Amino acid sequence: MDILLVGGGGREHALAWKMMQSPLADKLYWAPGNPGIPDAIPVAENTPEALAQFAQDHNIGLTMVGPEALLCEGIVDAFRKRGLRIVGPDKKAAQLEGSKAFAKDFMHRHGLPTADAAVFTDAPAALEYLRKHGAPIVVKADGLAAGKGVVVANDLATAEQAVKECFAGAFGAAGARVLLEDCLVGEEASILALCDGKTIKPLDSSQDHKRAYDGDQGPNTGGMGAYSPAPVVTPELWKIIDEQVLQRFLKGVQADGLDFRGVIYAGLMITAQGPKLLEFNVRFGDPETQAVLMRLDSDLVDALAATADGELERIELKWSPEPAVCVVMASKGYPGKYPKGLPIKGIAEAEKTGAVVFHAGTRLDNSGQLVTNGGRVLGVTAKGKTLREAVDNAYAGVQCITWDGVEYRTDIAHKAFEHQ
């Protein structure tokens, strides 16, 4: 079948890379795509209706949506009205990511473990609550903010500043409502799962690194690296996560009549009291996808088609025992302001080391030179017989790649070694 992949970042490059290994895959159309897979056919359409029309005109057999914004805009609704096969939740169900208040209400009503939170629509009320509650506290913009609308405030001044920035428009409409959430202490883990509304099947565990700098310092980002599996998710913890998070999520989706045939991402904090939900995403995570798909031995296209068709029960996901590590290489200044258009060198040399280099923010300039085009530019990903070997292999690839002002963390997977 011909496939349409929507999105152009590192997650989508990893999805494209894995889907094109399937014997079910023929042509890959990529909207808008990136230079990572030259054989993919770029697509200019970028609205739900235009993409649905494109898929209909080109007899697309399966559409996979990477980014959350189009899911929240209702791309799945537009496709399903035309009888087209697409992976993802409809517009209503996508609010599980599109609105943190919607998600928090869902979690509480269906008994999923999560922190208490209060929702505010104006700064004075939020600031008054802050002064009574105190710090530490987590300030979250309600809507989509590209992974940057969350501030973990260890003191009152930081919390107050974050609240004021949200209501002043730092995140646009996403900050029109603000959640003030109890601060959880523990180690984070990412659980991705396929769900067709009747069955839910988890992918193997992973751990993201949200802070910009080594030692989990600096501002929150969209993710500076990931590894899979995450040792913090023990077999005993997997059972608890399945029972208290995944199965309750599935029952909640069914009880609320949500059309959810796609990917659910549960961001967890593993606390002394057990796993607690930090957030839902309604799509593959980035950069977790790069590490997780590196280890998937099953046919991804078959699994995604079964998810869209409500036949997930027939799928058995198989995993390589070898760990995988993704190191994000970013532009200087990210997640704040950063330059674009800087020439990138060394990708071919990096891939000779055995690493796979996923493009996240790149483009070809008028002369055909590969240049930077985003904050997160590349995700250098590698496997190894051990986690230490996977880390070393990923950084061996990183060392080959250069551009002016490149930045990356040097301690991806550091928490895993504490478990050893």
Last residue of a domain, one of 314, 340, 359: 314
For residue 96, being part of any structural domain is answered with: no
For residue 319, being part of any structural domain is answered with: no
Structural domain boundaries, residue 309: 185-314
Looking at the structure, tell me whether residues 30 and 142 fall in a common domain: no
Show the tokens assigned to 150.
């969350």
Last residue of a domain, one of 68, 90, 112: 90
Looking at the structure, tell me whether residues 307 and 215 fall in a common domain: yes
Only one residue has tokens 């891939």, namely 351
Least confident of 120-124, 206-210, 410-414: 120-124
Looking at the structure, tell me whether residues 308 and 232 fall in a common domain: yes
Order of strands across the sheet with 117-120? 117-120, 178-182, 137-141, 150-153
The reported pLDDT for the residue numbered 150 is 87
The reported pLDDT for the residue numbered 147 is 65
Q: Could you tell me the pLDDT band of residue 334, with boundaries at 50, 70 and 90?
A: very high
Looking at the structure, tell me whether residues 310 and 354 fall in a common domain: no
For residue 14, being part of any structural domain is answered with: yes
- Rounded to an integer, the average pLDDT of 118-147 is 89
DSSP 345: B
Last residue of a domain, one of 261, 286, 314: 314
Residue 389 is part of a domain; what is its CATH number? 3.90.600.10
For residue 66, being part of any structural domain is answered with: yes
Looking at the structure, tell me whether residues 137 and 220 fall in a common domain: no
Residues 4 and 64 sit within 8 Å (Cβ to Cβ): yes
Looking at the structure, tell me whether residues 10 and 32 fall in a common domain: yes
pLDDT above 70 covers what percent of the chain? 99
Q: Could you tell me the pLDDT band of residue 267, with boundaries at 50, 70 and 90?
A: very high
Looking at the structure, tell me whether residues 296 and 191 fall in a common domain: yes
Please enumerate in sequence order all residues whose Cβ is within 8 A of that of 38, keeping only pairs 6 or more positions apart, or say none. Answer: none
For residue 98, being part of any structural domain is answered with: no
Number of structural domains in the chain: 4
Please give the helix or strand (H or E) that residue 96 lies within, else none.
helix 95-98
CA distance 240 to 274: 8
Q: Does residue 172 surpass a pLDDT of 90? A: no
SS3 400: coil
Least confident of 57-66, 146-155, 329-338: 146-155
3-class secondary structure for 100-135?
Answer: HHHHHHHHHHCCCCECCEEEECCHHHHHHHHHHHCC
For β-strands 324-330 and 225-228, DSSP reports them as antiparallel
Looking at the structure, tell me whether residues 191 and 270 fall in a common domain: yes
CA distance 413 to 417: 7
Nearest Cα residue to 253 out of 89, 78, 98: 89
Looking at the structure, tell me whether residues 286 and 407 fall in a common domain: no
Please enumerate in sequence order all residues whose Cβ is within 8 A of that of 259, keeping only pairs 6 or more positions apart, or say none. Answer: 76, 80, 89, 90, 92, 93, 197
